[in-house]
Amino acid sequence: MRCSLTVALLGPDGQRRNHCPSCLHSRHTVDQVEGGVSECQARMAPLSIAVSRSGEWGIVHRCTRCHELALHAVCGDDNQLILMRLAVRPLAEPPFPLEVFGDL
């Protein structure tokens, strides 16, 4: 993980954890395209938040080596500040100039 925290294999709900609760980084161990174990083993950086139709939050990770995307469920003890930063990033840093709205 990025912050060098020792991370337990199970989250607070007893499910398998696949990212650090402190920095939200992960390791590329599962190949999302082919299925099975990935040989990449590079760091997966948190990119964004996705919300399912049921309202469950997930962390979108991108591999720093092969750029594969993965979605991992949010755990109850994940860093809430970093989760919120990821969630509001599209509003805080839009991909277009905000001055466009003044012309509408």
Strands 26-27 and 43-51: antiparallel
Residue 58: give the domain boundaries: 26-93
Q: Taking all residues of the chain, what is their mean pLDDT, rounded to a whole number?
A: 86
For residue 1, is it within any domain? no
87 occurs within a structural domain = yes
Work out how many domains the chain is built from and give that number.
1
pTM for this prediction: 0.80
DSSP states along the chain:
--S-----SB-TTSSBP-S-TTT--EE--B-TTT-SB-S---EEEEEEEEE-TTS-EEEEEEETTT--EEEEEPPTTS-HHHHHHHHHHHHHS-SS-GGGGGG-
Q: Report if residue 102 sits inside a domain.
A: no
Per-residue model confidence as pLDDT tens digits over 75-87: 989 999 999 999 9
Q: How confident is the model at residue 12 (pLDDT cuts 50, 70, 90)?
A: confident
14 located within any domain: no
Q: Looking at the predicted structure, is the pLDDT value of residue 72 above 80?
A: yes
Q: Is residue 20 part of a domain?
A: no
Quick one: pLDDT band at residue 101, thresholds 50, 70, 90?
Answer: confident
Categorize the per-residue pLDDT at 69 as very low, low, confident or very high, splitting at 50, 70 and 90: very high
Tell me, yes or no, whether 2 lies in a domain.
no
pLDDT tens-place string over residues 23-42: 999 988 877 667 677 788 89
